[in-house]
Amino acid sequence: MATILCFLFFLFSSAIACKQCVYQSKATSFSSSASLSSGACGYGSLAPGFNGGHLAAGVASLFRDGVGCGGCFQIRQPDKFRPHWECIRGFGKGGLADDIVKLGIVDVEYKRIPCDYGNQNLSVRVEETSQKPQYLAIDLLFQGGQTDIFQVKVAQVGTSDWTPLSRNKGAVWDTSRVPAGALQFQFLLQEGFYGKWVLAPTVLPADWKAGVIYDAGVQITDVAEQNCSDCGDGEVWQ
Ligand SMILES: *[C@@H]1O[C@H](CO)[C@@H](O)[C@H](O)[C@H]1NC(C)=O
Ligand SMILES: *[C@@H]1O[C@H](CO)[C@@H](O)[C@H](O)[C@H]1NC(C)=O
């Protein structure tokens, strides 16, 4: 009996709910890669311009079949001469990125952090594959906060006749049941332990066009709880 109780205690205490879990991994560098030119998230021709063209690629556990698209991360070398967190800002500009190029493969720690775009709102880009009136594909740009978007719904402004979009690939959501008129959206995300719908009441005008980026008029600042064994120096959810 005592053994079982100890074991259960271990199970409950081994994972704690954190605002920022710290993970161990390895990082390496590529001088060029065809896949980096557009990326798996589906941002297409926009991708090479992100972050001044200084790009880093993530493994499948970060990509998470597209759920991870839009996340922001910091990285550091644990217990080394550079113990502070930094954003990877491309190669050849000093810092950790320099070491990665020099050493080939380095042990790193990383954590997800809130994305902060200043005054920039969440934005909806209408994909070039959209075809009025029967097909709408969008991706979300400048998503603030530190949370995933799990569902997206669209409705004509002024109605509550919501149509769910499907995750097509990466950051791209689509539907072939496109409401007429100007369009509003709802996004399901996580705040702490709970789900939360965020309403963007007017996003696309009635004459929306493929290839155009529209301001959603809202921004996301929520932080989702994560379970991990190491909260680093970040906060624990109570
Ligand atoms: C963000 O949305 C708010 C509310 O709709 C709007 O007033 C503001 O102008 C938008 N910010 C930018 C930078 O477009
Ligand atoms: C964290 O753990 C709790 C309790 O086991 C579980 O209910 C919750 O779904 C987990 N959250 C995540 C994001 O994995």
| Portion of the chain with pLDDT greater than 90, in percent | 47
Which residue, by CA, sits nearest to atom 4 of ligand 2?
227
133-147 per-position pLDDT tens digit: 999 999 999 999 999
Which residue, by CA, sits nearest to atom 5 of ligand 1?
217
Question: 51: Cβ below 6 Å to ligand 2?
Answer: no
**Residue 15 near residue 237, CB atoms below 8 Å:** no
* Apex 216 CA angle, 214 and 221, nearest 5: 135
Higher pLDDT, 23 or 6: 23
What is d(CA 207, CA 200) in angstroms, rounded to the nearest whole number? 18
In whole numbers, what is the pLDDT of the chain averaged over residues? 84
Q: Closest-lying ligand to the alpha carbon of 223?
A: 2
The residue to which tokens 């740009």 are assigned: 141
> What is the per-residue pLDDT for 5?
42
Higher pLDDT, 22 or 37: 22
Where does the chain have alpha helices with state H?
2-14, 60-63, 96-103
SS3 164: strand
| Mutation choice for ligand 2 from 227, 231, 237, CB with most ligand atoms inside 8 A | 227
pLDDT-derived band of residue 2, with 50, 70 and 90 as boundaries? very low
Which residue, by CA, sits nearest to atom 10 of ligand 1?
217
Which DSSP letter does residue 11 get? H
* Strand 213-215, strand 136-141: pairing: unpaired
| Mutation choice for ligand 1 from 122, 143, 202, 215, CB with most ligand atoms inside 8 A | 215
Which residue, by CA, sits nearest to atom 1 of ligand 1?
217
27-75 per-position pLDDT tens digit: 887 766 555 556 788 887 787 777 777 677 788 888 888 888 889 988 8
> What is the per-residue pLDDT for 140?
94
